[in-house]
Structure 1
Amino acid sequence: MGHRLLAALLIGCFSLAALWLPARPAAAAGCTLTAIVWEGYTDPSFTKTFEEQTGCKVKATYAGSSDEMFAKFRAGGGRTYDIISASGDITERLYKAGLVRPIDTDKLQNYSSVFQSFQGGKWNTFDGKPYGVTFAWGPNVLVYNTKAVKSKPQSWDILFDPAYAGKISLPDNPMTIADVALWLGKSDPYDLTTADLAEVKQTLLELRPNIRKFWTTAGELANLFQSGEIVLAHAWPLTYTQLSEAGFPIDSVSPKGKLTGWTDSWMISKNSRNPEVAYQWIDYILSGAGQKGVIEVTGYSGATTLGAEAVGEARAHELFMDDLSLHSQINMWQSVKNYDQWVQLWNEIRS
């Protein structure tokens, strides 16, 4: 009887492990999975489990913008990095540049748990084939120091208040132009004419005196808050999470109808040296453990039913993972046809 009970327990343990590890040989000991990612997506708190179970180390490089991520990934001809956590503004660029391979979803045991509306999403599916797997998403939010900003902001207009001259920060990213376009009431913030861009430029020039610094990483932005250099910022939820855990007086708001955001996908390099390990990593991040790890570190929303179960009903509801209603309200980053004009405008503003 005892042997049968022990056997049953062992079978159960192996079944749980199979929830994220594909049924194929473990990676060779000493292998390295190279990745270029947004901050927090390979945090040791959950990456360690993957490394222990596969014997493969994850070596990640953080990028501060999609342009930086794309440039570094392309520089090595897709050989420097096995995998990339691409947002919707560069997924198509990676595909058109021939840098990424189609995803064989049959190699992912947890792919069926990806929210149905995220399977075949327009942000990572090209020519009828999936080139990426969605694993996280979220809005760009307004973050503020509650001791310095007494009343809860109601709109992005507060960034223009002369009372905060030299006290705000914006992301050093041309995609911020889309946010300004929304503030100006443009219906499609990613389809801007030359006249639209001129209007955006004028608005940014008016805002320029209030900008202390353009931030590149969430950690850098958190330091700007903690040093007292800034009190307001256009930010990722990650900065709010970091400062909250540090006991800093911080809060965030998401002005309705005026939000941009990102739906992030894992994409595998066409010339990856470790494609099978890349598939194992993706499967792990889709699992309950992987999703919970990403969510706890970043404060972003997950993309799978396994993730929703892992964080619990209440937390899943807070992150809109139970109905995805917030996702439909966010103007998600996407490819921009006249992006060279956006880059030129942005360089003029930040200089």
Structure 2
Amino acid sequence: MKRTRSSFLATVTAASALLIALGGAQAEELRLLTWGGYAPDDVVAMFEEETGIDVQVTLSNNEEMIAKLRATDGGGFDLAQPSQDRIAGAQEEYGIYKPMDVSKINGDLFIASMLEGTKKNTAYDGEVYGVPHVWGTSGLVVDTKKAPEVKDYVDLCSDAVAGKVSYRLKRPTLIGFAFSMGMDPFAAYGDTAAYQTMMEKVGEKLIECKPNVKAYWTGGDALINLLRSGEVVAAMAWDTGGWKLNEENPDITFVAPASGALGWIDTFVLPAKTQNEEAAYKWINFVMQPEIAAKITASAGNFTASKGADAFAEEALKTRFQGSFPQEAIDNIKWYPPVPAGLEDIEGKILDRVQAS
């Protein structure tokens, strides 16, 4: 009886161990906090088939990503994709990320200058916190037939387009208008008082411009419909929105502003409490392969930092990009630097004042 009981216990123990092992394999997952289009279904399926890792995708934006990670002290996700200017400052203020082990990333897959620039811009306390993924610009989306005079952000305030413009009440609008008004907000990042004065001037301009605004857009689909219907003839928006509309109406397209389009890079970062760091690195190296990256470009509409991926991009997208960005416009792109802690509080108060005016 004693021997039988021992055998039974051994069998139960072995079975339990097997179930735990199987359960662990089945439970392995990558919790990804990202933007729409950055993890298309076909790419997720290919990754899952190749690695056996289940990918759980949560769509978000910069403000929500930081809010979610702040609420959990950097928990809840294994990999996130904030823009590069939202990393060093957020880490200094909230401690929501963890340093990356760049030796686990295949650097040969990246455009070298973009990789090195992003590593520099996401550095904090001697550690690298981010590597680049998707990049693009915001500027103007214009019906060039109905609003040919709109060449820069401040032109949205001209009488010629009264009641027919749109933009977001978000920080890119403040930054873009500042450049268009002859100021350099990025140069003032290190001087809070100077930045406050600059934003006050921009806020006054936006209040003055308010009668021109048909609507402050919050979602891309709503803006596209306003432009499609002709209710709005000029807007401040992302390049991809203009190119999407250009497919339907050749008169509407993305225009790089005379003062410079605003360039952004969305990154890969590790949340402070990631539970599957190895899966995160596997995802990064997988999606940065040129042919895979081209699938993300097709989904998101923006190019990636994957070296050689443009060779696999759709010809129509390359043509629209070249139409919006002659070389001088590319050279004039204003790339977002890291945002120092505290500046977004200044911007938020200005935006609230504009909204309430």
Superposed pair shares fold, TM > 0.5: yes
Which structure shows the higher helix fraction? Answer: 2
213-222 or 171-180, which moves further after superposition?
Answer: 213-222
Q: Name 1:171's counterpart in structure 2.
A: 168
Change (3 A) 1:281 1:33: same
Q: Is the 8 A contact 1:114 1:134 kept in 2?
A: no
Q: Does residue 87 of structure 1 match 2:83?
A: yes
Q: Is the 8 A contact 1:218 1:238 kept in 2?
A: no
Alignment: residue pair count: 322
After TM superposition, the structure 1 = structure 2 runs for residues 206-217 of structure 1, keeping only pairs within 5 Å, are 206-217=208-219
Q: Name 2:65's counterpart in structure 1.
A: 69
Q: Is the 8 A contact 2:152 2:259 kept in 1?
A: no
Structure 1 residue 91 displacement after superposition: 0.9
Q: Does residue 113 of structure 1 match 2:110?
A: yes
Structure 1 residue 347 displacement after superposition: 1.4
- Which string of whole-angstrom CA distances, capped at 9 and with x for unpartnered residues, describes residues 10-33 of structure 1? xxxxxxxxxxxxxxxxx9445442
Give the 3-state SS of the residue equivalent to 1:179 in structure 2: helix
Aligned CA RMSD, in angstroms, stands at 3.2
Change (3 A) 1:235 1:325: closer
Q: Is the 8 A contact 1:142 1:253 kept in 2?
A: yes
Cα distance in 1 for partners of 2:169, 2:44 equals: 28
Structure 1 residue 333 displacement after superposition: 4.8
Give the 3-state SS of the residue equivalent to 2:55 in structure 1: strand
Give the 3-state SS of the residue equivalent to 1:177 in structure 2: helix
Structure 1 residue 118 displacement after superposition: 2.6
Structure 1 residue 275 displacement after superposition: 1.5
Give the 3-state SS of the residue equivalent to 1:301 in structure 2: coil
Structure 1 residue 272 displacement after superposition: 1.2
Structure 1 residue 252 displacement after superposition: 1.1
Cα distance in 1 for partners of 2:275, 2:77 equals: 9
Q: Does residue 342 of structure 1 match 2:342?
A: no
Q: Name 1:225's counterpart in structure 2.
A: 227
Q: TM-score, normalised by structure 1?
A: 0.79
Change (3 A) 1:45 1:256: farther
Q: Name 2:45's counterpart in structure 1.
A: 48
Structure 1 residue 346 displacement after superposition: 0.9
Change (3 A) 1:243 1:99: same
Structure 1 residue 268 displacement after superposition: 1.1
Q: Name 1:141's counterpart in structure 2.
A: 139
Change (3 A) 1:210 1:92: same
Give the 3-state SS of the residue equivalent to 1:119 in structure 2: helix
Cα distance in 1 for partners of 2:328, 2:105 equals: 23
Stretches of structure 1 that go unaligned for 5 or more consecutive residues are 1-26
Give the 3-state SS of the residue equivalent to 2:269 in structure 1: strand
Cα distance in 1 for partners of 2:86, 2:296 equals: 21
Q: Which residue, 256, 259, 268 being the options, matches 2:261?
A: 259
After TM superposition, the structure 1 = structure 2 runs for residues 222-301 of structure 1, keeping only pairs within 5 Å, are 222-245=224-247, 250-301=252-303
- Aligned partner of 1:86: which letter? P
Cα distance in 1 for partners of 2:111, 2:87 equals: 18
Stretches of structure 2 that go unaligned for 5 or more consecutive residues are 1-23, 189-193
Which ranges of 4 or more aligned residues in structure 1 deviate by more than 6 Å?
Answer: 312-318
Cα distance in 1 for partners of 2:294, 2:315 equals: 13
Q: Is the 8 A contact 2:149 2:155 kept in 1?
A: no
Cα distance in 1 for partners of 2:44, 2:220 equals: 19
Give the 3-state SS of the residue equivalent to 2:48 in structure 1: helix
Structure 1 residue 63 displacement after superposition: 2.9
Structure 1 residue 267 displacement after superposition: 0.4
Identity %: 26
Change (3 A) 1:61 1:246: farther
- Which string of whole-angstrom CA distances, capped at 9 and with x for unpartnered residues, describes residues 290-340 of structure 1? 32122223332321323244439997798699x999377324253045331
Q: Name 1:22's counterpart in structure 2.
A: none
Change (3 A) 1:221 1:105: same
Q: Name 1:33's counterpart in structure 2.
A: 30
Q: Does residue 199 of structure 1 match 2:217?
A: no
